[in-house]
Amino acid sequence: MAKTFSNRYIFIYSAVLVAVVALILTVVSVSLKPLQERNQQAEMKQMILKTIGVEATRDNADELYAKHITEADGYYQFAGGIVIPLHGTGLWGPIWGYLALNSENTVVGAVFDHKGETPGLGGEIASDKFAARFIGKKMDVQPIRLKKNADKANAYEVDAISGGTMTSNGVTAMLAEAYEDYSNLRKEAQQ
């Protein structure tokens, strides 16, 4: 004959089990947090270095970053230019990136990434092919914007992502916001 358990026993057993699992998950999460933060910092440094043409790994990102980048006022300076951080929202979540500008405010490097854009559509912002579209564009008198069938000769237009309208709009919005911040920084530097 099978043993039966009372409802009270099942409830107490379940509550204890949930508490033990929650405690284990909390301990694991707290113990892994420093590693996660180090990995995020290494990834950020790799992205910034990539915009200036320096390929880095997680192992050498700190060393190369210290050699090539100086942080100032939320921007990242390198020999002959500045790297601008970008933050925005795509179709399915956060998007971000970095633009490296030379002293003439011309893009010399770009890198973008996303949290959950659709692969093959909005997710294309993370590709080197997409980032290459920005090389040679300007961020001086107006922001760069994404536009379908953009005029390649126009220094302020980049061809939008086919099938990724919401992500393209998000990239345009984050570029406009970064332009405003960068313009204010340039005005302060001139005073």
Packing angle, helices 7-51 and 61-68, rounded to 10: 40
* pLDDT for the residue 22: 95
- Percent of the chain scoring above 90 in pLDDT: 68
pLDDT in the model for residue 164: 87
Burial of 136 (C-beta count, 10 Å sphere; 0-12/13-18/19+): exposed
What does the pLDDT read at residue 121? Answer: 83
| Segment 147-165, tens digit of pLDDT | 999 999 999 999 998 888 9
Q: Name every residue whose Cβ is closer than 8 Å to that of residue 164 and which is 6 or more positions away in sequence.
A: 91, 117, 118, 121, 122, 123, 124, 125
Cα–Cα distance, 64 to 29 (Å, whole number): 30
Average pLDDT over residues 27-46: 90
Does position 191 have pLDDT exceeding 80, yes or no? Answer: no
Contact predicate 108/131, CB 8 Å: no
What is the structure's pLDDT at 96?
95
Evaluate if residue 1 carries a pLDDT over 70.
Answer: no
pTM as predicted: 0.81
Q: What is the pLDDT of residues 96-120, one digit of tens each?
A: 999 999 999 999 999 999 988 878 7
Q: Write down the pLDDT at residue 139.
A: 93
Measured distance CA(73)–CA(27) in Å, rounded? 36
Residue with more model confidence, 51 or 40: 51
